[in-house]
Amino acid sequence: MPRNTASAARDTRDTHTSANVPASGLGDAEAHRGPTGDPLLAAKFAIPAVPRTLVRRQRLLDRLTTGTAGPLTLITGPAGAGKTTLAASWVAEGTAPGPVVWLTAEHEDKAPGVFWAYVLEALHHHRIDLPEDPDRPGSADFVEHSLLTRLASGLARRHRPVVFVLDGLDQVPVREVTSALDFVLTHAGQSLRLVVISRVDPLLPLHRYRAQGRICEVRSADLAFTRREATTLLRGHGLESCEESADTLTTRTGGWAAGLRLCALEMQRTDDPNGFARSFAASQSAVADYLLAEVLDTQPETTRDLLMRSSILDRVHPDLANTLTEREDAEWILAGLTRAGAFVESVAGTRWCRFQPLFAEVLRTHLRHHHPGLEPRLRRLAAAWLADHGRLTEALEQAAATADWEWATARMVDDLEIGRLLTGPEAYRLASCFTGMPRDLPGTAPALVAGACAAARYDLAGCRAQLDRAEEHIRTAQAQPSPETQLALSLLRLLSSPGGGDRDRDAVREADRTLDLAGRVPRSRRAEHPEIEALRRYGLARGLLLTGRLGAARTAFAAAADGRTDATDVVRHLSLGQLALLESLRGELNEAEKHARLALATARCRSVPPARRSGIGHLALATVALERGDLRDALHHLDLGSECPDAEHDPVTCTEMLVARAHLNRAQGRGRAALAALEDRPPALPPWPAQRIALADSAIHVARGDPTAAISALHEAGPDASAHVIALARAHLASGDPDRALGLLPAPGDHRDAGITQRVAVLLIRAHAALLAKDTESAHSTLGRALAVARPETLRRPFLEAGPWVRHLLELGPDAAQRHAWLASASAPLVVEQLSVRERQVLEHCAQVMSTEEIAAAMCLSVNTVKTHLRSIYRKLVVSRRGEAVRRARELGLL
């Protein structure tokens, strides 16, 4: 459908009403006429009026001013992009380097003689005097070369340049016209500045102008409205209260000027402008007529058919479009649409194309109206093509749109894609495909996919319920399931194990079964899915950890963290975090810190979606900070870890969060708060997390001076026998029974394979027992060995929490302050013993800058008693002066 004068002369501007007035204004008898004998229409020379609601876009105005310092400025973009409005507003600014001539070209002007007749008349209309006035073309079909030569020569002899704005050159796709235009532009020198407005690149030799640096280009991406400009546009339409909608509209329209303006006009008419902005359907209806008239209706039937059929896709490949249209011309048509700026753009570096979102919605509506019932068939065709070409996620999105769950779940299982629901860069997008699937859909594959989706949400109980359904379907079918089905079932069983020690679901056995089933799948297919082996190793490591087989779990986590592909990054992130936690609990703080930071870096820099990021890495760093006495850093990482999705779902993460917070409260002298933190433990914990709670509970009771409660907390041994024995020995020592405590400990030399933390703890118990037995020499020697073991890792907490005897014993040795300065170098040293009620009262009076005598009078105590309390406060807070004691108490929240 040819564009009329109004649509040809503007994208989104006011119409001009004098389309049929001759150029001279004197009537047909004296009007300047073209070579066909028809009058030349004056409306083509009119500079369009600037809309009242114009958004002044200084960045583009400046670009045009700079560009017209050279010979050629090109403004290209789709219909409604604001090309003409931009040029007209720039002319109105008055920053052009010379007089401006405007010509709007139309499809009827494609004959060379007609086109150049309009060019010469435009110069005359805008009163551009030439030293030698060229003759008008005598024929519509060609132009004498001498005319072009005289025109170029006349322009070149002007003192001031002429800025010639040629709007709609895409309507004159004639090589003879553009070649002649290039000739005149080249030979007019600095006296002609050409501004071309076009929907597509004109047939000018743009490559040459680019190579010579003689062109300024303003493309559709430059014309797109920014969020700030969209906000200004809404304000210009009286929609000041809708500024929050600017982001939504800018994203939905892609910054398309006409779309934004049409939406703003519709928002003026509605009672709920912000609701309109949120509604995709409303936005679509606001611009549908424009897009249909300006874009779709101007295309041939075959092109319209391809656009409508391909609109079901976010991105379309020529071969896929051929499948949908059952033709072979898609590549040629899509290339033409891309060149024409018909709201189709190519994806850089590929053969794929994408549609502007609103345009795609309009096309889909058009498809449903004109071809009811065709969309589901097209989506099934697209799903099959995409799956066969390695684009399963996009295929599943097409299947989900038609609720073809049987096909979608079968492809997930049969193609070994079940692990991609749990790891990989598209895990979240894949899981989103199945949000609309009924959870009780019959069949083995739907149950397996539903189970994997539940596991991705940390709903392990829900996962196990779906796996039970899958096994029931297998039994009912009375047929041997495929190796792929068995592999998916075994892998999910391993990953969802509650870790309760059920022999039928033992982690090692299930992991071995998974490995055996994977071996039944062709090796080439296994190589395409490294995530299966990574998940198997992680499931094995997790099962070993939950049941307390820590050494084996550590080895398994290290193996699971070995993969370095996008498909296994989630597993690597999780495994490195768990490995770091185990190392921090063993006292291997340097390695723990390294692996924890690597876990966090993996999450930030690679393919780990936010929904799959674990807090275990932050938790490991918090544990490292606690062991080194850095309370601020510990609290910082605890807070970061608690914000991660697994903080409330994973039993290990949840338990260690509670334990770390309890130790932090204990370090700050808040024993009751420490015990209260442990009371929030999840119900029915697996063996090892349950033991971790018991060990922390016992340690806090020891610190509070209640060894009976500490022993009671350890009534069950738990899977980590060494940790249980050490905690029990510490509690018996605190109760005044050193012989029983020593009897529980392993013989010297039997704990070489234990972690650094346990070795230090055993040595400290032996040292304290020796000191209580008045064997100061042996106590000092044993304490020295403990310090030697701890120092390479800067492990401070066991010494700072052991009690005041450690400091007194160290003071007996020569150069103790210098040799053991590392113990007190933390940014926030821990409290070595909890303050009594009286000591807190004395400290509060110190904070009020009261003298010793004033404190004694206020508390009805003797001065010597107050001094005794002060000495005890200094010792417990590891300070030597009153001011330091007050400052440290405030840091620890004691005041």
pLDDT-derived band at 1, boundaries 50, 70, 90? very low
pLDDT at 815: 60
At 892, the pLDDT band (50, 70, 90 cuts) reads low
Tell me how far CA of residue 642 lies from CA of 50, 571, 757, in angstroms: 56, 20, 25
Higher-pLDDT residue of 427, 880? 427
Instruction: Give the mean model confidence (pLDDT) for residues 758-770.
Output: 94
- In sequence order, which ranges of 126-189 are alpha helices (DSSP H)? 145-156, 175-187
Comparing 564 with 151, the larger pLDDT belongs to: 151
Give the three-state DSSP class for 104.
strand
Find the mean pLDDT for residues 392-413: 94
| 99 touches 128 (CB < 8 A) | yes
For residue 320, the model assigns a pLDDT of: 96
70-115: per-residue pLDDT in tens? 999 999 988 888 889 999 999 999 999 999 999 999 888 888 888 9
Q: Looking only at Cα atoms, what is the longest distance across the chain?
A: 130
Q: What percent of the chain has pLDDT over 70?
A: 90
d(CA 84, CA 15): 12
Dihedral over Cα of 318, 324, 328, 334: its sign: negative
In terms of pLDDT, which residue wins out, 462 or 888?
462
Least confident of 148-152, 379-383, 453-457, 714-718: 714-718
In sequence order, the β-bridge partners of residue 345 are 354
Q: What is the pLDDT of residue 717?
A: 79
SS3 content of the chain, % helix, strand, coil (to 5): 65, 5, 30
In sign, the C-alpha dihedral spanning 449, 452, 454, 456 is negative
What average pLDDT score do residues 439-453 get?
93
**How sure is the predictor about 681, in pLDDT bands with cuts at 50, 70 and 90?**
confident
- Kindly indicate the confidence band of residue 20, based on its pLDDT and cuts at 50, 70 and 90: very low
Model's pTM, two decimal places?
A: 0.69
Q: Beta 72-76 vs 192-198: how paired, if at all?
A: parallel
Question: In this predicted model, what pLDDT tens digit does every residue of 337-396 receive, in sequence order?
Answer: 887 767 788 887 889 998 877 788 888 888 988 899 999 999 999 999 999 998 999 999
Count of beta carbons in the 10 Å neighbourhood of residue 527: 8
What is the gyration radius of the CA atoms in the chain, in angstroms?
Answer: 40
Q: How far is CA 489 from CA 444, 447, 451, in A?
A: 10, 10, 9
pLDDT at residue 679, rounded to an integer = 87
| CATH topology (fold) of 837-891 | Arc Repressor Mutant, subunit A (1.10.10)
Q: Which residue has the higher pLDDT, 258 or 785?
A: 785
pLDDT at position 283: 54
End-to-end CA distance of the chain: 82
Average pLDDT of span 546-553: 90
> β-strand 72-76 against 100-104: which pairing, if any?
unpaired
Q: Which residue has the higher pLDDT, 340 or 497?
A: 497
Flag whether pLDDT at 731 surpasses 70: yes
Is residue 80 within 8 A of residue 259, CB to CB? The reply is yes
Residue 15 has pLDDT above 70, yes or no: no
- Note whether 412 and 404 are within 8 A (CB): no
Q: What is the mean pLDDT of residues 802-827?
A: 70
Residue 693: closest CA among 631, 701, 632: 701
Kindly state the tokens that stand for 656. Answer: 């260690």
Is residue 164 classed as helix, strand or coil in its secondary structure?
strand
pLDDT attached to residue 27: 39
Helices 246-253 and 357-370, packing angle to 10 deg: 60
When comparing pLDDT for 540 and 830, which is higher? 540
- pLDDT of 205-260, one tens digit each? 998 998 888 999 998 889 888 888 888 888 887 777 666 777 777 877 778 877 77
Q: Mean of the pLDDT values across residues 161-187?
A: 90
Banded model confidence at residue 285, pLDDT cuts 50, 70, 90: low
Q: Does the structure show a pLDDT above 80 at 834?
A: no
The residue-averaged pLDDT of 402-424 equals 93
Is the pLDDT reported for residue 609 higher than 70?
A: yes
| Torsion angle of the four alpha carbons 49, 53, 57, 60, in this order, in degrees rounded to the nearest 10 | -30
User: By mean pLDDT, which of 144-148, 189-193, 766-770, 824-828 is the weakest?
Assistant: 824-828
The per-residue pLDDT for 12 is 38
Q: 30 pLDDT exceeds 60?
A: no
* pLDDT over threshold 60, residue 725: yes
Whole-angstrom distance, CA of residue 625 vs CA of residue 644: 19
Q: Dump the DSSP string for 663-716.
A: HHHHHTT-HHHHHHHHTTPPSS--HHHHHHHHHHHHHHHHHTT-HHHHHHHTSS
Average pLDDT over residues 527-537: 93
Q: What is the pLDDT of residue 692?
A: 92
Joined tokens for residue 552: 């084996």
pLDDT at 893: 64
State yes or no: pLDDT of 807 exceeds 60: yes
Most confident of 235-244, 512-521, 873-882: 512-521
836 — pLDDT class (breaks 50, 70, 90): confident
pLDDT of residue 277: 66
Query: Which whole number is the average pLDDT over 730-749?
Result: 88
* Residues 737-752, mean pLDDT to the nearest whole number: 81
Q: 153 CB contacts (<8 Å, ≥6 apart)? A: 132, 187
Average pLDDT score, the chain:
85
715 pLDDT more than 90: no
Q: 7 falls in which pLDDT band (50, 70, 90)?
A: very low
Three-state helix/strand/coil letters over 477-528 = HCCCCCHHHHHHHHHHHHHCCCCCCCHHHCHHHHHHHHHHHHCCCCHHHHHC
What order do you get walking across the sheet with 344-346 strand by strand? 315-316, 353-355, 344-346
Asked if residue 567 has pLDDT above 90, the reply is no
Q: What is the architecture of the domain spanning 5-223?
A: 3-Layer(aba) Sandwich (3.40)
pLDDT at 470 over 90: yes
Most confident of 76-85, 261-270, 860-869: 860-869
Which strand (E) or helix (H) includes residue 76?
strand 72-76
Helix (H, G, I), strand (E, B) or coil at 101: strand
